[in-house]
Amino acid sequence: MSWYLTIKALHIIFMVAWFAGIFYLPRIFVYHAESDSSEVRAQLAIMAKRLLYFITPFAILTLMFGIALIAMQGMDWFRLSIWLHIKMLLVLILYVYHGYCFVLLKRFQNDNNQRTGLYYRIFNEVPVLFLFAIILLAVIKPFYG
């Protein structure tokens, strides 16, 4: 059994689990922003909190296994892998996005949302675009050595 392939599989598994939540969380925000019922908004805030706290460990494990993969490849490989540098920048932006979801959650919990459902519908599409770019970079590996 190859440790590298095991680590890579775990990286992908936790990335998929993280993205599943990152795709659904803004949908909860959409429903919350468009709801006129205080009871529904309260329930959606609970759902959003549980989901965000559930997926955060997946985000952390994705990062840990990604760093392990880079370490296993070595610094010479890392320096030549410009595609990976671009991927890492996109992933960093996704971690900022994830962190911003905590800010949005707090606003919803305090019933202090200032954004429309349309805003959250657009916000919901951001990780999809990043996922496409990240997967394309990881598979095609343009700008390599």
Tens digit of each residue's pLDDT (9 = 90 or more) over 17-40: 999 999 999 999 999 999 999 999
Give the count of beta carbons closer than 10 Å to the beta carbon of residue 93: 13
Residue at 36 is within a domain: yes
Read off the pLDDT of residues 125-145 as tens digits, 9 standing for 90 and up: 999 999 999 999 999 998 776
> Helices marked H in 35-116 — which ranges?
38-73, 75-80, 82-109
From CA 11, how far away is CA 94, in angstroms rounded? Answer: 16
End-to-end CA distance of the chain: 28
Residue at 99 is within a domain: yes
pTM (2 d.p.): 0.93
Q: What is the number of domains present in the chain?
A: 1
Residue at 79 is within a domain: yes
CB 14 within 8 A of CB 65: yes
From CA 134, how far away is CA 145, in angstroms rounded? Answer: 18
Q: Provide the b/e sequence for 7-32 (b: ≥16 CB within 10 Å).
A: bbebbeebbebbbebbeebbebbbbb
- The boundaries of the domain holding residue 124 are 3-140
Read off the pLDDT of residues 62-111 as tens digits, 9 standing for 90 and up: 999 999 999 999 999 999 999 999 999 999 999 999 999 999 999 999 99
Tell me the average pLDDT across 45-57.
Answer: 98
pLDDT of residue 145: 64
Residue 1 pLDDT exceeds 70: no
Residue at 127 is within a domain: yes
Residue at 114 is within a domain: yes
Residue at 21 is within a domain: yes
Residue at 90 is within a domain: yes
pLDDT of residue 4: 95
Give the count of beta carbons closer than 10 Å to the beta carbon of residue 49: 17
Residue at 145 is within a domain: no
- Residue of 107, 96, 27 lying closest to 59 (CA atoms): 96
